[in-house]
């Protein structure tokens, strides 16, 4: 019998305070069937990104949180609760380290070996750190990215343009809606029928077919009529993309969100159904991987050809360029990464995927905070457009939550306002505030967030470590440090933080520090690398950088 | 003109409190000519382990510490002071991350490239984290190790036995005295005359020669007379060792402390003087490296041959086995590492290189704490023997300091006793308490501290990250996280902590937590891996491990 996990709602505490109730509810929320990709196996999203190492560990984490005192800290090692120590009221209640390996051993093969022996867990970014909030989490980022593409190349709108992509998984599932929100048309190739159904059910995808001709007909009609439309195509990208090239059909924009960062569980080779793939993956992983490599080569060669014929192409952080490169596509890196192309300038101002969730489970709490954020930042039209669209189009998954990209200063201001609302009883219960690991100061990832840094510091990982330690020092409620994540083992290190706004004065102090420092370090990191926008932002917000004094 | 750095002594503060005075003095102390290997280049020990990235950064760190408030935290990225943030009284005053790289980029070549571009610094273990205390730091560990060898194979004494080793650098320089303290004879091969002189001057080495025959004569005479003796031989190990094999002269024990973990700057190839080596290293690093590889192969093959002929051999954490292995010596790993052979059981009880230094600069402060530690743990004969020997044989280098291996429970008890002494005015000034990164719970290093773990978790690096975060959460005064260290880039990750006992009540609370939790996590790490001694230690000290509840 399958266990169904769902976070408790309302104001009755299972734990001794909201400081521990919050991580408990958010851990459970990560495994809510509305939220998680494969809750039976504790998999939240992104290949095998898990919330806890196994069910026994999950139960022990919950049990421990229920008895944890306000000056105790639980330590979680790759999803296993290993110790409780007495710390202080200022300390985080939970410290998490997931998937970390000594560099020379940092490869998938070795990782999987350790995983099989029950010694390690893949934490992805927000899976093992308990702040994944469903596909909305990525929807805003994807919306921002397609908006940035539109801004750079198509006059701020995707009207009458079409996007080709693949992968409608937990992150990739945000693509169709993100494109239609920008008034464009999208053809999204996905090999797993359940994923297509999931997106249809949540309203992220408009329609689907398993017939390429039919799909193209729908797409071309919508493009002609300048009407937004998203079409799911049940097929394999490694077959569809080369076929389009053959037919001379070139999209305006091409990207990809198959989980290619994890070739064994995240990419399905051409020539087989999803179920056949599952079978072969188990029975003959070596053979499976060989077929994946062949397919990825075809897939990327097709994208490169589309690029040559004028399509705007970019890699969307799944490390598929590297995989293709390693298997012979020497010009795979002609495809630019999305961060240097579209996101770097936002990071330099401290903007990134800020998010919050209502521990009450009451959507009204989120609507009230939506109102508050628009009140606080009335000058931000783009923010207003997003919040309005999100209210209309985003269905709740698990605990109601909201995401938007706020920058230095704004995050702290808004966090304090939320705490004030909780204090005054305007909200039913406390709010947790966090962010993706994929943020301005929290990650070193040379093929994604730190690709092509101005000073060449792409691979320097001191920053995410400082970020984790600074968040512990500043009063975050839980802090995590992961290896791997979206780009896979060996390719990134990143830190996460979540903080509870429970309306207390202590929370006020902590929120002020955490929401200033966490993002402040991101601005500093970019200023240190020489980005003008960051240097200005640091000055404007009085961030103290001794070497610039 | 060369700058001479020396920590201020006495009780006049340059900073706003002892919490910031302490890191300032300890940073300066690391560069004291009595302490540092090459202070002009900010190199403290272990190849190129630095205290700050450059002089400009050093000055800015000092300047910033002088103005830092009790609720502010300075962030140091690879020896550069990058930011100051407002945190809290419970937070560390300094957070340090050195030499960290994303795993796929974690190799010497890439590191050196970044270093040349001024973007990164090699932090070693206690160099970049400001708690190196000269060769005494390693003397106790080396003494413990040779004692463990004696215990395992020679009836608790090295009387009438002889040790062959090489390298009299900052760490390796402790070997001669550690052997003679165990009543043995040692022949230490060293290619740099200045290093031999340094050891003679500090009384760590008894005598020297540049003539192999003369050296052997002295050694053989002392062995015969069962008289402790240390002989420095100005020569190259890659020449001496094979020559000994050729002559059929087999030592009782063989190890090595050339800085082979960093082949370009730490190992001198056969066939040239030290000065010639320096020149070639600069002019043709590629050629230099090729010669190093050839020499290391000869060096290790000689040790393997001695092992076959009955010598007890072990690698002493400089990764020389791996270097030899990579260049063709396929049985290099027949040489065991010293940790699984001799240190693991100590780690499992939480024992490790605990240390403290007198910020006053007054040796009396250390003698008083020596007395205190013996009073507190009267049952520990081995400890008594060490403290008495240290008082007799160890010359102060920089600020007076002491090291001894204390375990779970003992560290906190002693730390609190020190704080009480400061409070009562029994000591002239506060004491800093810290440890090497090379400790029970602070490091992942599959060729050294975590070699051959019982459960196969050698390469899992979640533990040092949890250790760093836990020390931040528990109230350490400064916390560091490094990559590289003794075994070099790619091979280890480790955390450090230092805490100031300034006699205040807040320090009391912090000391209790930090000195319990820091080592407690080490016991937990070993208990989690299945070591019985650790499980018993955890039970005895009521460490809470949820999965063992
Ligand atoms: N851009 C970002 O901000 C960002 C953030 C996080 C993760 N990612 C990366 O994006 C990728 C997707 O993440 P996810 O969470 O959606 O992964 P996922 O595992 O949930 O989904 C991947 C989907 O791709 C489908 N797929 C695999 N191979 C296919 C093929 N050949 N043709 C068609 N469909 C195929 C799978 O059936 C699955 O539904 C990952 O690599 C992830 O690491 C990007
Ligand atoms: N065992 C431990 O606890 C421990 C701790 C830290 C470091 N280490 C490792 O031990 C090694 C030594 O550390 P260190 O700080 O003394 O390094 P160091 O650089 O200060 O000294 C190395 C010495 O070896 C000499 N040398 C180099 N090649 C030689 C050769 N072929 N023949 C003779 N002499 C030669 C050099 O002249 C130098 O004096 C390092 O690899 C270090 O990482 C061990």
**Architecture category of domain B345-476+495-548 in CATH:** 3-Layer(aba) Sandwich (3.40)
Contact between A463 and B86 using a beta-carbon 8 Å cutoff: no
Please name which ligand lies nearest the alpha carbon of A193: 1
Residue with tokens 């709602």: A9
For ligand 1, pick from A174, A178, A193, A258 the residue to mutate: most ligand atoms within 8 Å of CB: A258
Positive or negative: CA dihedral B403, B404, B409, B410: negative
A166 lines ligand 1 (CB under 6 A): yes
Ligand whose nearest atom lies closest to the CA of B144: 2
**Catalytic position from the list B44, B383, B404, B489:** B404
Instruction: Give the list of residues 6+ apart from residue B38 with CB closer than 8 angstroms, or none.
Output: none
CA distance linking residue B139 with residue B141, whole number of Å: 5
Find out whether A87 and A71 touch, Cβ atoms under 8 Å. yes
Nearest C-alpha to atom 8 of ligand 2 is from which residue?
Answer: B486
Which residue among B258, B263, B268 is best mutated to probe the pocket of ligand 2, counting the most ligand atoms within 8 A of its Cβ? Answer: B258
| C-alpha dihedral, B264 to B265 to B271 to B274, nearest 10° | 160
Q: What is the pLDDT of residue B96?
A: 98
Separation CA A76–CA B496 (nearest Å)? 20
Residues A435 and A413: their CA atoms lie apart, in Å, by 16
Q: To the nearest whole angstrom, how far is the Cα of A130 from the nearest Cα of chain B?
A: 17
Residues of A in contact with B120 (CB under 8 A): 460, 462
CA dihedral B77, B82, B85, B91 (to 10 degrees): 30
Of B470, B473, B476, the closest CA to residue B500 belongs to B476
A118 is written with which tokens? 């029950």
- Kindly list the distances between the CA atom of residue B282 and the CA atoms of A87, A519, B275, B285, in Å, as whole numbers in the listed order: 50, 42, 11, 6
Which helix or strand (DSSP H or E) is residue B497 part of? strand B493-501
Average pLDDT over residues B166-170: 94
Instruction: Compute, in angstroms, the gap from residue B264 CA to the centroid of ligand 2.
Output: 12
Low-confidence ranges of chain A (pLDDT < 70): 1
CATH superfamily of the domain spanning A138-336: Urocanase like domains (3.40.50.10730)
How far does Cα A339 stand from its chain's mean position? Answer: 14
Q: Locate the ligand 2 atom nearest the alpha carbon of residue B486 and give its number.
A: 43
- How many Å apart are CA A176 and CA A207, to the nearest integer? 10
Residues B180, B157: Cα–Cα separation, whole Å = 10
Do B460 and A520 make contact, defined as CB atoms within 8 angstroms?
no
Q: How confident is the model at residue B1 (pLDDT cuts 50, 70, 90)?
A: low
| Centroid of ligand 2 to alpha carbon of B369 (angstroms) | 31
CB contact under 8 A, A85 and B466: no
Candidates A20, A102, A548, partner chain B, best to mutate (most B CBs within 10 A): A102
CB of A47 shorter than 6 A to ligand 1:
yes
From the number of C-beta atoms within 10 Å of its C-beta (0-12, 13-18, 19+), residue B2 rates as exposed
Domain locations along chain B: 18-116, 136-336, 345-476+495-548
Identify which of B204, B43, B197 has the alpha carbon closest to the alpha carbon of residue B132. Answer: B43
The pair of structure tokens assigned to A445 is 């990832």
Round to whole Å and give the CA distance between B239 and B218.
19
Please name every residue paired with B208 in a beta bridge, in sequence order, or none if there are none.
B232
pLDDT in the model for residue B317: 87
Q: Are strands B352-358 and B401-406 parallel, antiparallel or unpaired?
A: antiparallel
Answer yes or no: is pLDDT of B377 > 90: yes
Look at residue A1 in the predicted model and tell me its pLDDT: 59
Residues of chain A with Cβ-Cβ distance to B104 below 8 Å are 103, 106, 446, 459, 490-491
Banded pLDDT at B67 (limits 50, 70, 90) = very high
Closest ligand by atom to A235 CA: 1
> pLDDT by residue (tens digit) across B439-467?
999 999 999 999 999 999 999 999 999 99
d(CA A46, CA B185): 60
A293-338 pLDDT, tens digit each = 999 999 999 999 999 999 999 999 899 999 999 999 999 999 999 9
* Interval B83-93 mean pLDDT: 98
Least Cα separation, residue B517 to chain A (angstroms): 6
Alpha helices (H) along A160-310 = 175-181, 193-201, 212-224, 237-247, 263-266, 274-283, 285-308
Helix, strand, coil % over all residues of chain A, rounded to 5? 45, 15, 40
Task: Report in angstroms the alpha-carbon separations of B61 from A473, A544, B529.
Answer: 19, 13, 40
Residue A335 in contact with ligand 1 by CB distance below 6 A: no
Residue A321's nearest CA partner among A446, A236, A192 is A446
| A300 Cβ contact partners less than 8 Å away, ≥ 6 residues apart | A320, A321, A324, A329, A332, A335
* CA separation for the pair B387, B366 (Å, rounded): 11
Please state the ipTM of this predicted complex: 0.89
Contacts of A84 (CB under 8 A, 6+ apart): A64, A68, A72, A73, A74, A75, B544, B546
Q: How far apart are CA B99 and CA A537, in angstroms?
A: 27
Show contacts of B212-220: CB within 8 Å, 24+ apart: B212/B240, B212/B243, B215/B187, B216/B187, B216/B249, B219/B162, B219/B185, B219/B187
Residue B162 reports pLDDT greater than 80: yes
Mean pLDDT for chain B?
Answer: 96
pLDDT tens for residues B218-240?
A: 999 999 999 999 999 999 999 99
CA atoms of A470 and A510, how far apart (whole Å): 12
Chain B residues in contact with A468 by the CB 8 A cut-off are 465, 468-469
| Residue B460 with chain A: CB contacts under 8 Å | 77-78, 100-101, 114, 119-120
Q: Which helix (H) or strand (E) holds A83?
A: strand A80-86
Residue A257 counted as an annotated binding residue: yes
User: Which CATH code, of 3.40.109.10, 3.40.50.510, 3.90.1170.50, 3.40.1770.10, is assigned to A20-134+342-549?
Assistant: 3.40.1770.10
Whose C-alpha lies nearest to ligand 2, atom 5?
B486
pLDDT of residue A170: 83
Q: With a 6 A CB cut-off, is A316 part of the ligand 1 pocket?
A: yes
Which residues make beta-bridge pairs with A357?
A401, A432
Q: Are strands A431-435 and A401-406 parallel, antiparallel or unpaired?
A: unpaired
**Of A397, A448, A536, A381, nearest in space to A31 by CA:** A397
Tokens 């998010």 belong to residue: A355
Contacts of B371 (CB under 8 A, 6+ apart): none
Among chain A residues, the shortest Cα distance to B455 is held by: A119
The CATH architecture annotation of domain B136-336 reads 3-Layer(aba) Sandwich (3.40)
DSSP state letter for B486: G
* Shared fold status for B136-336 and B345-476+495-548: no
Residue partners of A112: CB distance under 8 A and separation at least 6: A264
Nearest CA in chain B to A61: B546
Contact B521 A85 (CB under 8 A): yes
Q: Phi, psi at residue B72, to the nearest 5°?
A: -115, 155
CA B298 to each of CA B85, B301, B328: distance values in angstroms, whole numbers, following the listed order: 52, 5, 11
A438 close to ligand 1 (CB < 6 Angstrom): yes
For residue B326, the Cα-to-chain-centroid distance in whole angstroms is 25
Of A119, A463, A465, the CB nearest to B456: A119
DSSP state of A445: -
pLDDT at B73: 98
| Atom 44, ligand 1: residue with shortest CA distance | A317
Instruction: Give me ligand 1 centre to Cα A141, in Å.
Output: 15
Q: Which residue has the tokens 């093929």?
A: A447
Contacts of B516 in chain A (CB under 8 A): 85-86
- Taking only the tens place, the pLDDT of each residue in B25-50 is 999 999 999 999 999 999 999 889 99
Beta bridge partners of A83: A75
In this structure, the residues whose C-beta lies within 6 A of any atom of ligand 2 are: B 37, 45-47, 138, 141, 166-172, 189-192, 195, 236-238, 257-261, 266-268, 316-318, 438, 486
A57 counts as catalytic: no
| Chain B contact probe: residue of A61, A78, A103 with most B CBs at under 10 A | A103
Residues of A in contact with B513 (CB under 8 A): 85-88
DSSP B51-73: SSSSHHHHHHHHHHHHH--TTEE
User: What pLDDT band is residue B290 in, cutting at 50, 70 and 90?
Assistant: very high
The residue behind tokens 């790619």 is: B490
Strand A312-313 to B162-166 pairing: unpaired
Q: Return the SS3 of A268.
A: coil
Query: Does ligand 1 lie within 6 Å of residue A161's CB atom?
Result: no
* pLDDT value at residue B136: 84
CB contact under 8 A, A86 and B491: no
**A404, A470, A524, A543: which one is catalytic?**
A404
In which element (H, E) is residue B291 found? Answer: helix B285-308
Say what the pLDDT of residue B77 is.
Answer: 98
H/E segment holding residue A401: strand A401-406
Contacts of A100 in chain B (CB under 8 A): 444, 460-462, 465, 493
Minimal-distance CA residue to ligand 1 atom 34:
A190
């Amino acid at each position: 019998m399958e266990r169904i996990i769902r976070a408790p709602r309302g104001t009755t505490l299972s734990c001794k305070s909201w400081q521990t109730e919050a991580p408990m509810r958010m851990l459970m929320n990560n495994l809510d069937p509305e939220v998680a990709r494969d809750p039976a196996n504790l998999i939240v999203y992104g290949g095998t990104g898990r919330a806890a190492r196994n069910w026994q560990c999950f139960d022990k984490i919950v049990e421990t949180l229920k008895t944890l005192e306000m000056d105790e800290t639980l330590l979680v090692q790759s999803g296993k609760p290993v110790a409780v120590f007495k710390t202080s009221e200022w300390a985080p209640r939970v410290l998490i380290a997931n998937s970390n390996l000594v560099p020379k051993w940092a490869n998938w093969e070795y990782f999987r070996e350790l995983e099989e022996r029950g010694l390690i867990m893949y934490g992805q970014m927000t899976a093992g750190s308990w702040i994944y909030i469903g596909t909305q989490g990525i929807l805003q980022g994807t919306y921002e990215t397609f908006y940035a593409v539109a801004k750079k190349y198509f006059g701020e709108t995707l009207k009458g343009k079409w996007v080709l992509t693949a992968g409608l998984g937990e992150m990739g599932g945000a693509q169709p809606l993100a494109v239609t929100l920008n008034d464009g048309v999208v053809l999204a190739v996905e090999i797993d029928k359940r994923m297509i159904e999931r997106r249809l059910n949540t309203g992220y995808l408009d329609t689907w077919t398993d017939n390429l001709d039919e799909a193209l007909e729908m797409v071309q009609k919508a493009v002609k009529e300048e009407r937004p439309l998203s079409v799911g195509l049940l097929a394999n990208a490694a077959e569809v993309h080369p076929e389009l090239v053959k037919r001379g059909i070139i999209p305006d924009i091409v990207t990809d969100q198959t989980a290619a960062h994890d070739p064994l569980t995240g990419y399905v080779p051409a020539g087989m159904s999803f179920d056949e793939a599952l079978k072969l993956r188990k029975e003959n992983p070596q053979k499976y991987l060989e077929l994946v490599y062949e397919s990825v080569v075809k897939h990327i060669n097709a994208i490169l050809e589309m690029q040559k014929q004028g399509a705007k192409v970019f890699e969307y952080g799944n490390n598929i360029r590297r995989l293709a490169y390693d298997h012979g596509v020497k010009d795979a890196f002609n495809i630019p990464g999305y961060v240097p192309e579209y996101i770097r300038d936002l990071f330099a101002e401290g903007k990134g995927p800020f998010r919050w969730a209502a521990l009450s489970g009451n959507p009204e709490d989120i609507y009230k905070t939506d109102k508050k954020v628009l009140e606080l930042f009335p000058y931000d039209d783009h923010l207003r457009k997003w919040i309005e669209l999100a209210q209309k189009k985003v269905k709740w998954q698990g605990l109601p939550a909201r995401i938007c990209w706020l920058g230095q200063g704004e995050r702290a201001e808004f966090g304090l306002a939320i705490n004030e609302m909780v204090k005054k009883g305007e909200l039913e219960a406390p709010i947790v505030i966090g962010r993706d690991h994929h943020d301005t100061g929290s990650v070193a990832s040379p093929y994604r967030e730190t690709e092509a840094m101005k000073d060449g510091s792409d691979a320097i990982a001191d920053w995410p470590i400082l970020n984790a330690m600074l968040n512990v020092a500043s009063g975050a409620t839980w802090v995590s440090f992961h290896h791997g994540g979206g780009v896979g083992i060996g390719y990134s290190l990143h830190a996460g933080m979540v903080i509870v706004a429970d309306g207390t004065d202590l929370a006020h102090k902590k929120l002020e520090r955490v929401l200033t420092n966490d993002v402040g370090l991101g601005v500093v990191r970019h200023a240190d690398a020489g980005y003008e926008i960051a240097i200005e932002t640091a000055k404007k917000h009085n961030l103290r950088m001794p070497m610039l004094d």
